[in-house]
Every structure is written in C-alpha cells, then in structure tokens.
Amino acid sequence: MKVKVLYFAQVSEKLGINSEEITFQKEHPTLWDLMDYLVKTYPVLDELSYKIAHNQVLTKENAALSERDEIALLPPFAGG
C-alpha cells in the first residue's frame, strides 16, 4: 500500500524534499505508524513544529490509512 506525503515550508527545507511516496508492507497501517516511520527516517522532525493533514483535513487523531491517501506536514499557522 502506498501513501503520498507532502512536505511544506521548514519541513521541506530541513528534509530537502517536497514530497515522496511511502510503501507499507504492514496490513492496516495507521497515521501514527506513518509518523513513527517518518521520525525514524528523518529524526529532525522531532525538532520541528508542524501540523498534520490527512486527505486535506487537519487532524490530531490516529486514523487508518488507505491506498493513495495524502498526508501533508504543514507549517504552524495562525487563524484570523
């Protein structure tokens, strides 16, 4: 199963990439499985502030991932 991960602003700058596809071998991966993988792959993520969007909806919840889901790591922003 593949999911697309998009990186924006400081996250993109620190990682040196804008996006990538992650392939999971695990059955029924979750958003937290993905985040665990990303932090292990890119330890600098532990030092950055960002919000997570799952299929263009901001979330703090764990959720099951599906084929071709889109996850975005977004810079913190203020509403107005």
User: Positive or negative, the Cα torsion across 75, 24, 64, 69?
Assistant: positive
Count other C-beta atoms under 10 Å from residue 18's C-beta: 12
Mean per-residue pLDDT, 39-66 = 95
Mean per-residue pLDDT, 19-42 = 95
Say if residue 46's pLDDT is above 60. yes
Say if residue 79's pLDDT is above 70. no
Mean per-residue pLDDT, 1-6 = 96
Give the pLDDT band of residue 45 (cuts 50, 70, 90): very high
Residue 18: what pLDDT?
97
Residues 67 and 80: their CA atoms lie apart, in Å, by 34
Contacts of residue 80, Cβ cutoff 8 Å, sequence gap at least 6: none
